[in-house]
Amino acid sequence: MRETALDELCTVLFQSLRRADQRSRGAEYLRGLLATPGRKSIRNIAAATGGPEQGLHHFVSDSTWDWTPVRRTLAEFVVTHARPQAWVLRPMVIPKAGNQSVGVGRRFDPALGHTLNAQQAVGVWAASESTSTPVSWRLHLSSSWLTDTRRRDRAAIPDEAGPETAGDCAVEAFREVDGVADRPVVLDAREMDAATIARRLVADDTPFVARVPNTLRLSAAVPVLPGHGTDTVPADWLMGAIKDLRRPVTWADPDGLPRNALAAVAPVVLSDVGELRLLGVADAGSAWPDELWLTTLPGASAGALLRLARLTQRVDRDFAEIAERVGIRDFSGRSFVGWHRHVTLASAAHAVIAVSGPPVARLVS
Q: Is the dihedral of CA 192, 194, 200, 205 positive or negative?
A: positive
Q: Is the pLDDT of residue 229 over 70?
A: no
* pLDDT > 90 in the chain, percent: 87
Asked if the model's pLDDT at residue 328 lies above 50, the reply is: yes
Q: Rounded CA gap, 132 and 111, in Å?
A: 20
| Rounded Cα distance, 319 and 121, in Å | 13
pLDDT at site 228: 56
Report the pLDDT value the prediction gives residue 313, as an integer from 0 to 100. 97
pTM tops 0.85: yes
Percent residues over pLDDT 70 in the chain: 96
What band does 112 get if pLDDT is binned at 50, 70 and 90? confident
The closest alpha carbon to 309, from 334, 330, 287, 280, belongs to 280
Q: How confident is the model at residue 326, as a pLDDT?
A: 97
Average pLDDT along the chain: 92
In a domain, 224, yes or no: yes
Domain that holds residue 238: 194-296
Average pLDDT of the segment spanning 181-205: 96
The answer to whether position 280 is within a domain reads yes
pLDDT in tens, 21-69: 999 999 999 999 999 999 999 999 999 999 899 999 999 999 999 999 9
Q: Is residue 46 part of a domain?
A: no
Q: Measure the CA–CA gap between 288 and 291, rounded to whole angstroms.
A: 8
DSSP 127: E
Check whether 208 has a pLDDT greater than 50: yes
Confirm whether 290 is domain-assigned.
yes
**In total, how many domains does the chain have?**
1
Q: How many C-beta neighbours within 10 Å does residue 1 have?
A: 9
Residue 292 pLDDT greater than 90, yes or no: yes
- Which residues, 6 or more positions from 117, have their beta carbon under 8 angstroms from its beta carbon? 95, 96, 97, 98, 99, 104, 105, 106, 107
Q: Is residue 245 included in any domain, yes or no? A: yes
Residue 101 in this model has a pLDDT that exceeds 50: yes
Note whether residue 218 is domain-resident: yes
What would the pLDDT profile of 144-183 be if each residue is shown by its tens digit? 999 999 999 999 999 999 999 999 999 999 999 999 999 9
Residue 365 pLDDT exceeds 50: no
Residue 111: how many other CB atoms lie within 10 Å: 8
**pLDDT at 344 > cutoff 70:** yes
Would 263 be classed as within a structural domain?
yes
Tell me which residue of 217, 212, 205, 330 sits closest to 269, measured CA to CA: 217
pLDDT of residue 110: 77
Q: Compute CA distances 149 → 141, 157, 164, 202, 349, whole Å.
A: 13, 10, 18, 35, 34
Identify the pLDDT of residue 226: 55
At 286 the three-state DSSP class reads coil
pLDDT of residue 1: 72
Residue 178 forms part of a structural domain: no
The β-bridge partners of 120 are 93
